[in-house]
Chain A
């Protein structure tokens, strides 16, 4: 099990080594120590390896991840797991702005809170935030699910397309074209699976409210100009 100490080893060497892994590698579990808030740790991975990062990370940790399971034992800076394609990224602390931005797939789990624009432009990623999310979360969200066990800030789901939002606490306000929708049985099944995958225990899907697109702004019309 390789251990890379970023206090003494350059980031380039870590990312370069992770990119050179082959499908039959035996080095399937990596530990990264002393990340000290460095940016771009473990970006562009494309193998089903486990990466444990022991400490806080800066911007774009696990950016564009495919297949890998990355755990950040600390807080994450801006754009954690941005544009993730598959795999799983788990932040045990809080996450800064734009967590999971434009993600296409995989699961992002944040044990703490996520700041503004969590899930912005999400395109299929699933995000579970055990705390609360900031303003403009799921802005222009196209596909995937955002689950918030705490509260959501202002303008949740502004200009949303077909992503589904589940919030357990309060929503300060909904953004343009985002409305509350009925939480039907099929949604509860999906939500239960996501909660299980995220390791959430003792929380029932019945405690959530569902939000999505009213689809009124899908075609431009001058009478809707006040909504933009």
Chain B
């Protein structure tokens, strides 16, 4: 190419709008005729806890001595109406994930890990298995729109009930479990033909709206003789109103799941374009509880993209009572492990990016129903890893809380936080770092 020819065309420039990912998706859609279905939560950059900082203590605040002065982490959930509320030793729980989406050993490992550190696990869309009941000291039983595997015996075996209205990855969407994972056992539990694509309903079959929900919750309480707590889980969409209505409906606790929250299988367009990020859903939820005089009386459990003790501490500082983890727990068990890179390459992906959980080919043996793959996961070892991870997160949250002078992680408060960006300051309703300015406030 001559020097003159070189300037006939501008240098190649890729479009910011039609970037590599957008072009690849257009080509994939054109070639296959089906939208992209995948697991996990939103992958795009979203406002998150990274843009919040704790101030720590100095002259105006006294810190607690690390490793010496006590910083408690326990939380009681469900004392509003239940005779037997749940006592957690740490403010981190395991989110609902079904047997079907996950293998039997994975569910067992979640139970082992959570029980080792005194916290709860949750069933999922498919019912309760003896394995997870047996290995979970505290098990929350989900009542979902599909009612797959729903029965009163398991309801009474549960330590708490969670009425699932929605989840963060797909507020307003139902479940999906593709045929590859509908084995005989999964199909039997759900009363479905083996091998079909299973679509779960997005609405409950026997109630619509908060007035019905109130009666439904009362039914569950009557069946379980008012013994165990009843949670209501919602995807983050209109948190102020949804939380207020859940309280009005008689929930003991509310689970609020942001759009970074994972799913076993959902349309990518849904995951990436519907719902609110976790961080900005918490303040309106807390405001609703405060306006009703129910903050700390109806517990708020938030989930969606929680990765470490700092994220936990930030959720609690914004007013949550506890958090739930799903994707992070699977990673702790061994999901997306770089040691499996060669196998991920064979699946056309790479460790850290594998999200085709619905295909049931997980080399880690976690998101699969293939008995050979599932047998790869040692539930004892994986459970130990999860327990380690939960302990580290708890210790990290305690470290931050002590630095802020708090003798209980629940004593963290918005006043301990500042935001690095104007957007985060506006959404989290804490001052922009170095100022006393909260965008949108009248202060």
**Cβ of B206 and Cβ of A40 under 8 Å apart?**
no
Report if A60 contacts B (CB, 8 A). Answer: yes
Report if B205 contacts A (CB, 8 A). Answer: yes
* B178 / chain A contacts, CB cutoff of 8 Å: 220
State which of A60, A101, A117, A219 has its C-beta within 8 Å of the C-beta of B215. Answer: A60
**In whole angstroms, what is the CA distance A117 to B197 when docked?**
23
Report if B179 contacts A (CB, 8 A). Answer: yes
Question: Which residue of A is nearest B223, CB measured?
Answer: A44
Q: How many CB-defined contacts (below 8 Å) exist between A and B?
A: 99
State which of A142, A222, A223 has its C-beta within 8 Å of the C-beta of B191. Answer: A142
Q: Which residues, 114 to 162 on B, are CB-close (under 8 Å) to A? A: 146-147, 150-152, 155
**In whole angstroms, what is the CA distance A104 to B33 when docked?**
37
Question: Which residue of B is nearest A41, CB measured?
Answer: B222
Report if B352 contacts A (CB, 8 A). Answer: no
- Known A-B contacts A64-B152, A64-B155, A83-B150; A222 and B225 likewise in contact (beta carbons under 8 Å): no
**Cβ of A58 and Cβ of B215 under 8 Å apart?**
yes
**Cβ of B215 and Cβ of A40 under 8 Å apart?**
yes
**Cβ of A124 and Cβ of B205 under 8 Å apart?**
no
Question: Which residue of B is nearest A223, CB measured?
Answer: B33
* A162 / chain B contacts, CB cutoff of 8 Å: 193
Report if B79 contacts A (CB, 8 A). Answer: no
* B197 / chain A contacts, CB cutoff of 8 Å: 218-220
* B219 / chain A contacts, CB cutoff of 8 Å: 39-40, 43, 59-60, 63
B411 to chain A, nearest CB (A): 37
Which among B34, B151, B223, B226 has the highest number of chain A CB atoms within 10 Å?
B223
Report if B218 contacts A (CB, 8 A). Answer: yes
**Cβ of B150 and Cβ of A102 under 8 Å apart?**
yes
Binds B, one of A11-19, A28-36, A203-211: A11-19
Report if A120 contacts B (CB, 8 A). Answer: yes
Give per-residue flags for A102-142: 1 if the beta carbon is below 8 A from chain B beta carbons, else 0.
10100000000000010011011000000000000001101
Question: Which residue of B is nearest A220, CB measured?
Answer: B197
* A91 / chain B contacts, CB cutoff of 8 Å: none
**Cβ of B191 and Cβ of A124 under 8 Å apart?**
yes
**Cβ of A98 and Cβ of B206 under 8 Å apart?**
yes
Report if A159 contacts B (CB, 8 A). Answer: yes
B198 to chain A, nearest CB (A): 9
**In whole angstroms, what is the CA distance A15 to B219 when docked?**
10
Q: Which residues, 63 to 99 on A, are CB-close (under 8 Å) to B? A: 63-64, 66, 78-79, 82-83, 85, 97-98
* A19 / chain B contacts, CB cutoff of 8 Å: 225
**In whole angstroms, what is the CA distance A7 to B196 when docked?**
50
Question: Which residue of B is nearest A103, CB measured?
Answer: B147
* A143 / chain B contacts, CB cutoff of 8 Å: 191
* B225 / chain A contacts, CB cutoff of 8 Å: 15-16, 19
**Cβ of A12 and Cβ of B201 under 8 Å apart?**
no
**Cβ of A78 and Cβ of B222 under 8 Å apart?**
no
Question: Which residue of A is nearest B37, CB measured?
Answer: A220
**Cβ of A218 and Cβ of B193 under 8 Å apart?**
yes
* B218 / chain A contacts, CB cutoff of 8 Å: 39-40
**Cβ of A142 and Cβ of B205 under 8 Å apart?**
no
**Cβ of B215 and Cβ of A121 under 8 Å apart?**
no
* A11 / chain B contacts, CB cutoff of 8 Å: 222
* A79 / chain B contacts, CB cutoff of 8 Å: 206-207
- Known A-B contacts A46-B152, A85-B152; A12 and B222 likewise in contact (beta carbons under 8 Å): yes
**Cβ of B147 and Cβ of A102 under 8 Å apart?**
yes
Question: Which residue of B is nearest A78, CB measured?
Answer: B206
* A47 / chain B contacts, CB cutoff of 8 Å: none
Report if B212 contacts A (CB, 8 A). Answer: yes
- Known A-B contacts A43-B219, A121-B147, A142-B191; A82 and B224 likewise in contact (beta carbons under 8 Å): no
A149 to chain B, nearest CB (A): 23
Report if B199 contacts A (CB, 8 A). Answer: yes
* B205 / chain A contacts, CB cutoff of 8 Å: 82, 98, 101-102, 117, 120-121, 139
Q: Which residues, 273 to 313 on B, are CB-close (under 8 Å) to A? A: none
Give per-residue flags for B187-209: 1 if the beta carbon is below 8 A from chain A beta carbons, else 0.
00011110011010100011100
Report if B216 contacts A (CB, 8 A). Answer: yes
**Cβ of A222 and Cβ of B223 under 8 Å apart?**
no
- Known A-B contacts A162-B193, A219-B196; A44 and B147 likewise in contact (beta carbons under 8 Å): no
Can you report 29 residue pairs joining A to B where beta carbons are below 8 Å apart?
A: A11-B222, A39-B218, A39-B219, A40-B215, A44-B152, A44-B223, A46-B152, A63-B219, A64-B152, A66-B152, A78-B207, A78-B212, A79-B206, A79-B207, A83-B147, A83-B151, A83-B152, A97-B206, A98-B205, A102-B206, A120-B205, A121-B146, A121-B147, A121-B201, A124-B191, A142-B191, A218-B179, A220-B197, A222-B33
List of 3 A-B pairs having minimum Cβ-Cβ separation, nearest first: A44-B223, A79-B206, A102-B147
Chain A contact residues, CB within 8 Å of chain B: 11-12, 15-16, 19, 39-40, 43-44, 46, 58-60, 63-64, 66, 78-79, 82-83, 85, 97-98, 101-102, 104, 117, 120-121, 123-124, 139-140, 142-143, 159, 161-162, 218-220, 222-223
